[in-house]
A and B are shown apart, each in its own frame.
Chain A
């Protein structure tokens, strides 16, 4: 167990729908990062939050949004889902935001859009 908790582990939904993925960071970590991993693809950085504030954005679609709550858990919202959104979504956490030391991944949420 890495200490980073992601729920649900699996999600199957239809095109056009909206889903929410949840991530609880390791105890003491203030930064949360979201990544998308499609089949045979690497890890695409989506977005980073630090202590409730958005810190960096990567290749995140406008249909996707995220937030980090006062208890530091984070949610990634995916809307108007398309078949191509099917992927593994990982979150990771670290203590700070300057430098990625202690970057630990959760077990991921596998999203299947049908």
Chain B
């Protein structure tokens, strides 16, 4: 069935270090892979996305890579800052659906000053 696996569930890094979160998906027809950041008590907000015809996308300190053959994609945050602390969710659309996103279970990132 439709499934997105996300690892790790928690991640703690020192300020200035890099953080990497990985996701795998089950449907080879998936073609859109967004990442959302959710701060405590707030709504998930889109931070970066990638489409299946692209292997990598960067936006300042964040980047996403996609490996369609292996069906996995990753979020990379460089030079982490305390304000990066939040829960990050990956998601994927599935070919048989009408565009709804299936989310991973989230990664709680803590950046220690």
Which residues of chain A come closer than 8 Å to B49, judged between CB atoms? Answer: 101
A90 touches B43 (CB 8 A): yes
Which residues of chain B come closer than 8 Å to A84, judged between CB atoms? Answer: none
Which of B57-65, B67-75, B98-106 makes up part of the contact surface? B98-106
B43-99 interface (Cβ within 8 A of A):
43-46, 49, 89, 91, 93, 97-99
Query: In the complex, A101 Cα to B100 Cα: how many Å?
Result: 10
Query: In the complex, A96 Cα to B97 Cα: how many Å?
Result: 13
Q: Is A25 an interface residue (CB 8 A)?
A: no
Query: In the complex, A105 Cα to B34 Cα: how many Å?
Result: 13
Which residue in chain B gives the minimum CB-CB distance to A55? B98
A105 touches B105 (CB 8 A): no
A-B CB pair tally, cutoff 8 Å:
67
Q: Is A16 an interface residue (CB 8 A)?
A: no
B34 touches A100 (CB 8 A): yes
Task: Report if A105-B101 is in contact (Cβ < 8 Å); known contacts: A100-B34, A100-B93.
Answer: no
Query: In the complex, A113 Cα to B106 Cα: how many Å?
Result: 25
What count of chain B residues pass the 8 Å CB interface test? Answer: 24
Task: Report if A43-B32 is in contact (Cβ < 8 Å); known contacts: A2-B43, A98-B98, A107-B42.
Answer: no
A45 touches B31 (CB 8 A): no
Which residues of chain B come closer than 8 Å to A98, judged between CB atoms? Answer: 98-99
Which residues of chain B come closer than 8 Å to A108, judged between CB atoms? Answer: 43
B99 touches A43 (CB 8 A): no
Which residue in chain A gives the minimum CB-CB distance to B103? A43
Task: Report if A100-B103 is in contact (Cβ < 8 Å); known contacts: A56-B98, A106-B43.
Answer: no
A45 touches B102 (CB 8 A): yes
CB within 8 Å of A: which residues of B?
A: 6, 31-32, 34, 36, 42-46, 49, 89, 91, 93, 97-106
